[in-house]
Amino acid sequence: MKNQKYLFWIILLFIIVFQSCEDSEVVETPNFTISYDMQAKAGEPVEFSIVNSPQFLSFFSGEFGKEYKNKDRTKAEGDFTVSFETSRHYQDGDSRLDGAWRFMYSTDYTGSGSVADVEAATWVNISDRVTFATERTYNKTFSGITDITDLSTDKPVYMAIRILAEGKKTEGNRQGIFDFFSFNLTLALDQTNSLQIADMNTPGFFPVNITGENSNPSFDNWILRDKSYRMHGGSAEYTNDDWLITKPLNLSGTVAPDRGEPLKTYSEKLENFSHTYQNPGSYTITFVGRNETIYGSEETIEEFTLLVE
């Protein structure tokens, strides 16, 4: 009889231990609630309150670039456009009419920056698609917004602003000063939203002097000046062939997925936070809550529509 009682308690203890182990392996599904002010105004913070926040919580505001529906997007369809500004001054004689500006692109340039590789690459002249400065002033000339969707490719694309000027100062044909500003390459996804692919700083430009040397490095090659580039060929007695080439550009339509803002991690306590919308509109807000242990994770997604006036 004693042995039977002893066996009973052993079995009962085993069941209790086994059940507690099973319970410890269960990951709790996040069960949080969100409340916020329905009277949202552009430029003013929207206050969010959170009850029973999970271990991890992230926030997709619904603004462009921060939409949950695009969290897995790696390709985007749209139109590629490019624009920039130029100015020119001090050119004299025939150099005022020599068409020194060139706008080029290549898909087989190595990107090395060497003269040999620039000359060996296949460059296509698309200068007829843009407008360059020709007046003898420092006034900026806008290139226009040029559609270059036809250049889309999975290969890296390089673009170049090239100055090919032949005037000689002693013959009254001073080459002048060339300025390049405000490069902007975008992928337009629709009528209102565009992804910026490149600007003056990203991924950046690299100058290559093919022809035309000067003992003063401030002349006869492209020089970075704050937020613009200048090629000063005013004193030249020789041909200047100077290139300003982008670093590799992505015209494949490959884009980075939208990412949510992490609001909290495991060790933090979160009961409220705020976010400011700068523009009026209707936004789909998404909260992604996650609980996680060594046994796995559980996720809960909550979506709301916010109208910002």
Chain centroid to Cα 92, Å, comes to: 41
Pairing of strands 158-165, 146-147: unpaired
Cα–Cα distance for residue pair 187/202, rounded to 1 Å: 15
- In the chain, % helix, strand, coil (3-state, to 5) comes to 15, 45, 40
The total number of residues shown for the chain amounts to 309
Q: Which of 34-38, 84-88, 157-161 has the lowest mean pLDDT?
A: 34-38
159-181 b/e (C-beta count within 10 Å ≥ 16 → b):
bbbbbbbbbbbeeebbbbbbbbb
Q: What is the pLDDT of residues 102-160, one digit of tens each?
A: 999 999 999 999 999 999 999 999 999 999 998 889 999 999 999 999 999 999 999 99
Q: Which two tokens stand for residue 17?
A: 């231990």
DSSP 154: S
Instruction: Name the phi and psi angles at 10, rounded to 5.
Output: -65, -45
pLDDT of residue 5: 59
pLDDT at res. 2: 52
CB atoms closer than 10 angstroms to residue 232: 22
Q: How many CB atoms lie within 10 A of CB 92?
A: 16
Tell me the CA distances in angstroms from 88 to 92, 175, 232, one per residue in order.
11, 10, 10
Distance from CA of residue 98 to its chain's centroid? 36
**Continuous segment of H or E residues that includes residue 119:** helix 115-120
Range of weakest confidence among 93-97, 117-121, 172-176, 206-210 = 93-97
